Amino acid sequence: MYEKFRFLTSGESHGKCLTAIIDGLPSGLEIDTNYINSELQRRQQGYGRGGRMQIEFDTAEISSGVRFGKTIGSPVTLVIYNKDYENWNKIMSTKPEDMTEEKSFTAYRPGHADYAGSIKYNHKDLRNVLERSSARKTAIEVAVGAVAKLLLKKYNIECSSKILQIGNGKNEIEFHQEIDKAKEAGDTLGGKFEVTFKNLPVGLGSYVHWDRCLDGRIAQAVMSIPAIKSVSIGDGEHAAEITGKNFHDEIFIENGKVVRKTNHAGGIEGGMTNGEDLTVRAIMKPIPTLKTPLNTVDSCTMEETEAHFERSDTCAVEACSVVAESRIACVLANEILMKFPTDYFE
């Protein structure tokens, strides 16, 4: 299927850099690097983040597709250099003569990609799986998402997110208490968040084919963020308990305009935007790298052992909500460019 806004990323967690190539941007779009970098800072923050965030200060370099602050219609390349690479350059070297076993590990970490990834790609050293499966790659996705958000701003579309739950905590004070408790116990926490997009035009997505349904596309984009285990639209997570009379958003007319008094549908009916706010909720599982290691098996000895631990976040739900905003922004940027095709902005 032909997509308008496409991108690919590359880069390992402790490699030299993370890179993205974005294709399909019209020319004349102003690219505000301060905005991209402020989004990258948002992703680095949040109570419960770990040691890596003390090392990195993510900023994006634009190396193609932009001239004098505006896109020129050619692919846009973004690069984020990993500051931590200076501590890993021998271990992550691309040269065969630098081969080392330093930082190799062979005990599968439960909850991570290690077990299936090592079988799939035939790796003995699980470092080869960890490096790309790490959530570090979400940094470059947030940079791409910032560009998508700049495009959406041209159409007055705005987005935000909020944390709904962390552990058993339901407000900011409780979030901090829950995270402190987990950290002290050498444990980790997940949580639930909500992303909202406002001012979307009616009719993004379609009901005509399963793969054009916008809710399906959003679910795929959010579910594939590392550690996400559940995605719902509007009040979808409660739809089993609510009757039809109370669930569906009745339609009224006010000053000649179609209006709703509720938004249980989360802005999507029939796989299309209906003009109401798009609301997406997602649940992140607890970070699977634990200071108090989980039981596992060593892939070399095939004996039971404890999982490998280097360092980790206690909780990264706030960062994850920024990643989800970015992924959804990319889906919507694509839909906007399909609905309102243009090669340039004046």
Binding residue for ligand EPS (CB under 6 A) from 135, 219, 228, 332? 135
Interaction of residue 287 with ligand EPS, rule CB under 6 A: yes
Task: Between 45 and 171, name the residue whose CB sits nearer to ligand EPS.
Answer: 45
Residue 8: how many other CB atoms lie within 10 Å: 11
Q: Does 15 bind ligand EPS (CB under 6 A)?
A: no
Cβ atoms 292, 236 nearer than 8 A = no
SS3 259: strand
Residue 52: its H or E element: helix 52-55
Stretch that binds ligand EPS, among 67-75, 135-143, 262-270, 299-307 (CB under 6 A): 135-143
Q: Does 190 bind ligand EPS (CB under 6 A)?
A: no
Task: Check binding of 136 to ligand EPS (CB under 6 A).
Answer: yes
Three-state DSSP at 336 gives helix
- Nearer Cβ to ligand EPS (165/188): 188
Stretch that binds ligand EPS, among 136-144, 155-163, 195-203, 296-304 (CB under 6 A): 136-144
Residues 164 and 194 sit within 8 Å (Cβ to Cβ): yes
Part in contact with ligand EPS (CB under 6 A); list of ranges 20-28, 133-141, 145-153, 258-266: 133-141
Separation CA 193–CA 164 (nearest Å): 5
Alpha carbons 251 and 300: distance in angstroms, whole number: 62
Q: Which of residues 44-73 bind ligand EPS (CB under 6 A)?
A: 50, 52
**To the nearest whole angstrom, how small is the minimum distance from the Cβ of residue 256 to ligand EPS?**
48
Could you give the CA distance from residue 94 to residue 96 in angstroms, rounded to a whole number? 7
Q: How far is CA 31 from CA 45, 199, 249, in A?
A: 23, 21, 38
**Cα–Cα distances in Å, from 341 out to 4, 8, 158, 238, 334?**
9, 21, 20, 37, 10
Q: Which is nearer to ligand EPS, 134 or 232 (CB)?
A: 134
312 binds ligand EPS (CB under 6 A): yes
Of 17-25, 27-35, 128-136, 243-251, which segment contacts ligand EPS by CB under 6 A?
128-136
Which among 201, 142, 196, 156 has a CA at the least distance from the CA of 338? 201
Among 226, 266, 271, 286, binds ligand EPS (CB under 6 A): 226
Kindly state whether residue 13 participates in binding ligand EPS, applying the rule CB under 6 A: yes
Chain positions contacting ligand EPS, by CB under 6 A:
13, 50, 52, 84, 134-136, 138-139, 226, 287, 289, 311-313
